[in-house]
Structure 1
Amino acid sequence: MNQQPTTIAAWSLAICKALRASAVDPQPLLAEVGLNLTQLEKEPEARIPIATMTRFWQLVEMATADSAFGLKVSRYVQPMHFRALGLLMLTSDNMGAVIDKLGRYHAMISDSVNIRVIYQPDRVGFAVDPLAGVPISPMSVDGFFSTLMVFSRQLTGVETTLLAVDLMRQQPLDVSPWQQCFQLTPAFAQATNCLWFDRATLNKSDMAGDQQLAVANEAQVKSYLQKMNALSWRERVRNTLQAMLEQGEPSLAEVATLLNSSERSLRRHLQQEDTSFRQLMNDVRAELAVYYLASSTCSITELSLRLGFSDSANFSKAFQRWYGMAPGQYRSRQNSSD
């Protein structure tokens, strides 16, 4: 893959607090994935590879025997865990602005997913799409969504009523923890993860915003993300393509809409970064192709469709052009080297 997705270290600190509250010592779990609690506490803005965090979540679920544990973590998260982004939330005018900022700058928390803010006439969706080839724990989505609900209460002083909740995770045997958290029964096994809010309510949720502080905080967020290259159009388009390819080949118009841009502006932004939409599509397909060939047992035909090709013949031609061999030959070499 182009670069290893990461998450902010402060997120793991909240998980540790939740573990201690459940009488589980987090230190052995951290040690097993190569993390050190003292170091995390010293550098809460450091980045943790998402593969490490996903493994940590798996150990947390095993240690607690609780698949709903992610919902509990939200009790121990504060806006300041997200550093400058948390301050930006605190100085926003309403929850509508908070949702918008979280969607725009979510890479500060984690760049392992693609987040879309979906604006419809009467509702707003906050959608979290996993990136193809980047496994994340369903518990991390639970934790993020429940944290957003806690933040809403803290920032507005009132309960935020959701219209609906869509979750990709399979329906658990006991859905009551999710019902209690979201005050409704989520729809499980969905195509994406999404919280649906009433649009009018979001915009009416007055907060003690401070425009001057908000501008200063937003500048800090942008500075942090620029160091990560998370604000480049190249990376934003790559992540969007990585999240959308399995539903079919996305068009430039569809990607531009998701990034709140026009097609013309998006072309210009990419040209300024010495790339193009077609080149990025090609790069993402090439990287995902070798990832799936090496890490999955799906057929060449299934893989072709997953990468947005019309048939396996076109995929094989493209793979031959990228790597100088057929997909099956590449897979055989990988299997023989294991």
Structure 2
Amino acid sequence: MNQSSYSTIAAWALAICKALQESGRDPLPLLQDVGLNLQELEQQPDSRVAIATMTAFWDRVEQATANPAFGLEVSRYVQPMHFRALGLLMLSCQNMQQVIDKLGRYHAMISNTVNIRVIHQPHRIGFAIDPLAGVPISALAVDGFFATIVTFARQLTGQNMLVQNVELMRAVPVSAHERWSTFFQCPVNFQQATNCLWFERAQLIKMALPGDSQLAAANEALVEQYLQKMNALNWHERIKNSIQAVLEQGEPTLADTAQVFNLSERTLRRYLQQEGTSFRQILEEVRREMAVHYLLQTAVPVTDIALRLGFSDSSNFNRAFQRWFEQTPGQYRKEKKSDGA
């Protein structure tokens, strides 16, 4: 897995610094601990920060503040303008459902370190954040992202009661877990299968905004231009992230994945063909990269790795691995470890 490709926009770090300063803490020592420079961040707020660095920063912040809910605090210091063209696109949408849809489609501009799904159901809409296997994400970062969405929505609509329910993968906080329900003004469930904000569909549609279609089109073009440079809009990368997020629950199908993106199987297959690839090839690529990650970066037994990669048993994993590398997983791990890989 190419960890260097996973990053988040520097504006997050700046918001964290502002929140620290407002709470009477100096962010500079924490930034220095992880190799970040405040002056450089301020000069280039739309630059990218590697996710390993940002996660380490969040960890230092949690330790320094002793506040597991600090991610909620950070949302007070994030403004739409921090996200440049994406923030302007959100401000020029027609209603809140459109805001959620655009944020889901273009989330890689803010962070490409998770898989985002906008779940459309008859009476509600979910904004789900699925972690990617092997990509370190702080629970505070998820809290901050969700809290920022809700804060934006409150600012845009003037309404406070926006969310039906919140699902979080994080463990139940040892103390003060009511901070989450107080902030979101709805029930918050911890230790869930994924992270998801649930909105009432009819309410989102009713939340009309002073949209400007021409301005929205111009900003959307700027967002797409930015993401094209990141190679974040092609279907290969989007499907790869989607597979990586769900593989531990079992092997996904083309139909499953098409449904995630509200597409037909035929349409998704055509998109991938246009990029010279296929669903099966991407599934194979994800499995190969994740196998190498688990073998070299963890001590997870080979049998467990097979299950995490969606194989029905270890023998199927062994056959696939020998096809990829002409040796068994155990041999590969032993050889690479002895070489210092």
1:117 aligned partner: 118
1:172 aligned partner: 173
1:315 aligned partner: 317
CA contact (8 A) 1:240 1:255 kept: yes
- The within-5 A match list for 1:14-25 is 14-25=15-26
Separation in 1 of the partners of 2:73 and 2:271?
Answer: 41
The question of 1:326 aligning with 2:324 is answered: no
2:240 aligned partner: 238
Separation in 2 of the partners of 1:105 and 1:44?
Answer: 18
Deviation at 1:162, TM superposition (A): 1.6
Root-mean-square deviation (CA, aligned residues, Å) is 1.1
- For residues 271-309 of structure 1, the C-alpha deviation after alignment (integer angstroms, 9 at most, x for no partner) is 111111111110100000010112222221111111011
1:36 aligned partner: 37
- The one-letter amino acid of 1:63's match is A
CA contact (8 A) 1:238 1:284 kept: yes
- Show structure 2 runs of 5+ residues with no match: none
TM-score when scaled to structure 2?
0.97
2:187 aligned partner: 185
- The one-letter amino acid of 1:48's match is V
Deviation at 1:53, TM superposition (A): 0.4
1:157 aligned partner: 158
- The within-5 A match list for 1:283-294 is 283-294=285-296
Deviation at 1:337, TM superposition (A): 4.2
- The one-letter amino acid of 1:81's match is H
- Show structure 1 runs of 5+ residues with no match: none
Separation in 1 of the partners of 2:190 and 2:159?
Answer: 27
- The within-5 A match list for 1:55-94 is 55-94=56-95
Q: Secondary structure at the match of 1:117?
A: strand
Q: Secondary structure at the match of 1:274?
A: coil
Separation in 2 of the partners of 1:142 and 1:334?
Answer: 38
Q: Which deviates more from structure 2 when the two are superposed, residues 198-207 or residues 157-166?
A: 157-166
Separation in 2 of the partners of 1:52 and 1:161?
Answer: 33
CA contact (8 A) 1:242 1:284 kept: yes
Separation in 1 of the partners of 2:161 and 2:51?
Answer: 30
- The one-letter amino acid of 2:172's match is Q
- The within-5 A match list for 1:222-301 is 222-301=224-303
Separation in 2 of the partners of 1:247 and 1:308?
Answer: 7
Deviation at 1:181, TM superposition (A): 0.8
CA contact (8 A) 2:150 2:162 kept: no
Deviation at 1:4, TM superposition (A): 2.2
Q: Secondary structure at the match of 2:241?
A: helix
- The one-letter amino acid of 2:299's match is T
Q: Secondary structure at the match of 1:39?
A: helix
Separation in 2 of the partners of 1:158 and 1:184?
Answer: 14
- For residues 224-252 of structure 1, the C-alpha deviation after alignment (integer angstroms, 9 at most, x for no partner) is 00110100011111111111101111100
Deviation at 1:11, TM superposition (A): 1.1
CA contact (8 A) 1:163 1:196 kept: yes
Runs of 4+ in 1 over 4 A off after TM superposition: none
Deviation at 1:173, TM superposition (A): 1.8
Q: How many residues align?
A: 338
The question of 1:95 aligning with 2:96 is answered: yes
Percent identical residues: 62
Separation in 2 of the partners of 1:97 and 1:141?
Answer: 21
Deviation at 1:258, TM superposition (A): 1.0
**Structure 1 residues 303 and 279, CA gap change in structure 2 (3 angstroms):** same
- The one-letter amino acid of 1:309's match is F
CA contact (8 A) 1:149 1:160 kept: no
Q: Secondary structure at the match of 1:151?
A: helix
Separation in 2 of the partners of 1:30 and 1:173?
Answer: 27
1:216 aligned partner: 218
Deviation at 1:131, TM superposition (A): 0.8
Separation in 2 of the partners of 1:301 and 1:118?
Answer: 33
1:197 aligned partner: 199
2:308 aligned partner: 306
Separation in 2 of the partners of 1:295 and 1:327?
Answer: 13
CA contact (8 A) 1:152 1:160 kept: no
- The one-letter amino acid of 2:171's match is Q
CA contact (8 A) 2:164 2:187 kept: no
TM-score when scaled to structure 1?
0.98
